[in-house]
Structure 1
Amino acid sequence: MRVAFAGTPDFARSALEALHAAGHTIPLVLTQPDRPAGRGLKLQASPVKQAALAHGIPVAQPRSLRLDGKFPDDAAQARDLLRAADLDVLVVAAYGLILPQWVLDTPRRGCLNIHASLLPRWRGAAPIHRALEAGDAHTGVTIMQMDAGLDTGDMLLVEPLPITPRDTTGTLHDTLAALGARLVVEALALAARGALARTPQPAAGVSYAHKIDKAEAQLDWSQPATAIERRLRAFDPFPGATSTLAGEALKLWRGEVIAPAAAAPGTVLAVSPQGLDVATGDGALRLTELQRPGGRRLPAAQVLQGLAVSPGQRFEGGGR
């Protein structure tokens, strides 16, 4: 097939590489404009752009696709490129721009989206984070026929994936990216044979995965230990859960729920080679991996060697 691709981060690059390896003709890739990154704030191409250029695929980087929006010239140029590409389908994965109706209508077979959840659960921008934070037992990938709604289109292929007690957003991201890449190639193979069935999403079970706000990283120790432990994993590697102790804003990367103790939420219960035990609103949490400002992620015991902490101290802030 003639397949254009729209995506930006590493999650999307996996799918682009799979489509290229499967032998599809890819006349055009859409991705977000280069962004400043690193300490020098130099402009950096997205992972999808880097992959496209490595394969000699033309790249367009419109700031918007709305013909009546803030950047109509960008949208008009993208429209001309998409129409000239004579597309069978446009595959979309974590692109970052809303597709107006004219884009959805341009390819002969419409637009397919790779979504990292079991729709209709966790429609929206951060499905991996929210599934972990909520304590879901499963996540997965849905290949969806896009329509004008927010992740409301018909389901084409769905494959679940168990969430393990050790999974983080980082580990699930990589697994789901590979799964989505495989499924979208399967979907196009089925479509070519006329064997790709469409199933409307059920009306029940809809939930929304709102974009992660950095302010959410600040922990609220009045929450149960189980909820805080899930948040640590959900916010790993971004934005990282934070809380202030002994005057330092620490990042808290990993913990385990332990037996409760009678103390105010946020109170340090014990300091040991196994970690830092902290009281919560329900139960206690042993922090086992920490990071000081400007430092690296390390086992808690190593971090605590250079940080004066004793039982009875309390983490600051976090109440909401």
Structure 2
Amino acid sequence: MRIVFAGTPEFAVPCLRAAAQRNEVVAVYTQPDRPAGRGRGLQSSPVKREALARGLPVLQPESLKTALSRDALRALKPDLLVVVAYGLILPRAILDIPRLGCWNVHASLLPRWRGAAPIQRAIEAGDAETGVCLMQMDAGLDTGAVLLSQRLAIGADETGGQLHDRLATLGAQTLADGLGLLRAGMRPVPQTQPDAGATYARKLDKAEARLDWTQPAEVLARKVRALNPWPMADALLAGERVRVHEAGAIERVRDAAPGVVLGAGRDGIDVACGRGALRIRVLQRDGGRAISAADFVNARGTGFVDAG
């Protein structure tokens, strides 16, 4: 086969490796280099770095909506376009070019959590499981027929970053299974997604990182896990803004208004919530590194009055 791969972030790298195992990838699409870091220098995507290391041609168009973009893809004579977290919209004219269409690896059990942030939204919602779907792309947003899927239980303390890594591996395995069937002449049978159960996983935003103490503790604990490592939940403790790396819900030991610090010691910093309390175990001060709650308490003392 002649496979063209389109992807950008670290999540897509294992899938690129799976697609390239038999030297079938003829080109790799990824987003243009972007300014990053303190120096704001141009930085290439993880997929671009992997492609270049493999000696694969890399294309980085700003858009796929132009005739020039269509001509460039058509010139590659692709049998299949594999798309994994690419980040650009594929118009119908692009979807129609590959002989076998376009496949997408999506990190959820569709139709649940269509959209940009399915991993984090699954944790935030308290889902017990998630998974990966290999999908035949259509013009909709993650609405195409599912070719293959695999399920995965979400760990009780699993963070967004940890689940991301496990799903990236599972996604590569699922893609490899689909390609194996295709090579054997047994093209996976498309299963139309049901309308029932469809949900949308909106893109992560730094503005949602602030913890609202009026919410139940279990909701905040899931939020802390979901937003780790980015954008990371943040809160105010005794007037100081901190980033919360690790926390868990506990029973409230006494009545107190949401935001009041109930206790601070070796086990953590307990903050009253709308229901229950949140025990902060690992946190980060501005400009500092992540430290245990015990180290934070030792540095600040135990005289907290409230958490904002």
- Normalising by the smaller structure, the TM-score range is over 0.9
Cα deviation 1:109-163 (Å, max 9, x = unaligned): 1000000000000000000010000000001000000000000000000101000
Confirm or deny that 1:227 pairs with 2:226: no
- Corresponding residue number in structure 2 for 1:194: 186
| In 2, Cα distance between equivalents of 1:247 and 1:259 | 24
| In 1, Cα distance between equivalents of 2:301 and 2:146 | 54
Cα deviation 1:35-62 (Å, max 9, x = unaligned): 1111111101000000111111111111
**Equivalent residues, number:** 306
| In 2, Cα distance between equivalents of 1:52 and 1:77 | 22
Q: Is the 8 A contact 2:84 2:106 kept in 1?
A: yes
For 1:173, the aligned partner's letter is H
1:247 CA displacement: 2.8
1:24 CA displacement: 4.0
Q: Is the 8 A contact 2:63 2:69 kept in 1?
A: no
- Corresponding residue number in structure 2 for 1:284: 277
1:210 CA displacement: 0.4
For 1:244, the aligned partner's letter is L
Cα deviation 1:62-111 (Å, max 9, x = unaligned): 111112xxxxxxxx333222111111100000000010011100100100
Moved over 2 A (4+): 307-311
1:218 corresponds, among 190, 210, 213, to 210
| In 2, Cα distance between equivalents of 1:13 and 1:159 | 19
Q: List alignment gaps of at least 5 residues for structure 2.
A: none
| In 2, Cα distance between equivalents of 1:9 and 1:304 | 37
| In 2, Cα distance between equivalents of 1:87 and 1:301 | 57
Q: Is the 8 A contact 1:2 1:24 kept in 2?
A: no
Residues 102-181 of structure 1: pairs in structure 2 closer than 5 A: 102-181=93-172
1:246 CA displacement: 2.5
- Corresponding residue number in structure 1 for 2:306: 314
Q: Which moved more, 1:118-127 or 1:190-199?
A: 190-199
3-state SS, counterpart of residue 246 of structure 2: strand
Coordinate RMSD, CA, aligned: 1.1
1:307 CA displacement: 2.3
Q: Which moved more, 1:182-191 or 1:228-237?
A: 182-191
2:72 corresponds, among 55, 75, 81, to 81
| In 2, Cα distance between equivalents of 1:257 and 1:249 | 20
Confirm or deny that 1:204 pairs with 2:203: no
1:248 CA displacement: 1.8
Q: Is the 8 A contact 2:63 2:88 kept in 1?
A: yes
- Corresponding residue number in structure 2 for 1:45: 44
3-state SS, counterpart of residue 286 of structure 1: strand
- Corresponding residue number in structure 2 for 1:304: 297
- Corresponding residue number in structure 2 for 1:73: none
3-state SS, counterpart of residue 27 of structure 1: strand
- Corresponding residue number in structure 2 for 1:265: 258
- Corresponding residue number in structure 2 for 1:256: 248
Confirm or deny that 1:96 pairs with 2:95: no
3-state SS, counterpart of residue 104 of structure 2: strand
TM-score (norm 1): 0.93
For 1:4, the aligned partner's letter is V
| In 2, Cα distance between equivalents of 1:24 and 1:259 | 56
Q: Is the 8 A contact 2:239 2:307 kept in 1?
A: no
| In 2, Cα distance between equivalents of 1:226 and 1:54 | 44
Q: List alignment gaps of at least 5 residues for structure 1.
A: 68-75
- Corresponding residue number in structure 2 for 1:63: 62
3-state SS, counterpart of residue 19 of structure 2: helix
Cα deviation 1:171-201 (Å, max 9, x = unaligned): 0000000110111111111123134111000
| In 1, Cα distance between equivalents of 2:68 and 2:299 | 56
- Corresponding residue number in structure 1 for 2:229: 237
Q: Is the 8 A contact 1:270 1:310 kept in 2?
A: no
